[in-house]
Structure 1
Amino acid sequence: MRARLILGLAVAVSGCGHLSNIRAFSTDYLEPSAGEIARLRVVTNGMVRGVPASDCIDWRVPGAGVMAVAKSGFADRNNGRSLGMPAGSWRLDEPNLASAELKVPAGKPFTLNFLSEGYGSAGRSRSCRQSYRFVPKAGQDYEVVFYEAGGCVVALRRLYEEGWTEAGPMEKAGLCRMTDAL
């Protein structure tokens, strides 16, 4: 009887797509093992998850997962990872800030999802939940900043040894399936 109950609950949860959503918080982003790449520094005071080779949020895509997260309790193997990229526009020694430098597939859309929960003055809840996509160019270095400070800050910059330039606006991204809402 107990086995049937557990099996029934597992089927009910998986039927709604919830298992892949939970996985999206506990699985680290995996870098591509072949093909052309770009390098991406992710800077955040929340959680940034990535979906390679997709122009929408789909946590079932191989390699999709957490790129950087400022709070413990989630996948954070990538936090603090350095590939020796040029300096960016943000001080990386700020408290409550996470960063990671990762390889991403070039020439294909790459979708980023930002989640941040916090509390402002008088205990009012505030949050950022945003998804964007862009197409990294092979051999280029980028820095993406997702920051919540009373409002959502989103910036994408292309890095050079001499400095950085705005890489242009990222496009808003949506869900591939409604079950990927988390």
Structure 2
Amino acid sequence: MFLKKVIALFLILISLYFIPFSYARNIVEEYQIKAVYLFNFALFLSWPRYVFKHPNQPFRICIIGDDPFGIDLDLVIENEKVERRRVIVQRINSIKKSKYCQILFVSQSERSRMANIFTYLRRHPILTVSDMKNFANLGGMIQFFNTPNNKVRFIIVPETVDEAELIASANLLQIARIVHRR
């Protein structure tokens, strides 16, 4: 059953990859697409074993700042599991509350606090994701962007991912635009 879900979600991702956003807008809104990507990042990355202190500890996808997803991310993760762990969404207003997150979406409202966010996160294996312009250049791991023909894509910075002790699958790297840190 789990394998079928992974395959189905992967096929959705691939189909979204090839459908122009302007066409997909009638079917799925931009943040619905990003919500699917965000959940699927959890399926194509690995976290160190020490991250989960208890066998029943959930896999947390957190959003810091203004929430652009609304209910969309909650709907995507409903009844889903990552490595047999229940997936939950948490909205947080302080970077210190991100300590138990596995994925942290950094809202555009947090631009002025980026230095503090990255300073704090250096001590934790948390995947950082945003659609903020220059997020990858500032120290983020994955940055969403829209192509000129309005397709949602993402940049990944492998060095930053590696430093956080995360392992990105070859499949994820294959569909990403790879950017190396300067």
**TM-score normalised by the chain length of structure 2:** 0.29
Looking at CA atoms only, which structure, 1 or 2, has the larger radius of gyration? 1
Query: Higher helix proportion, which one?
Result: 2
Query: Higher strand proportion, which one?
Result: 1
**TM-score normalised by the chain length of structure 1:** 0.29
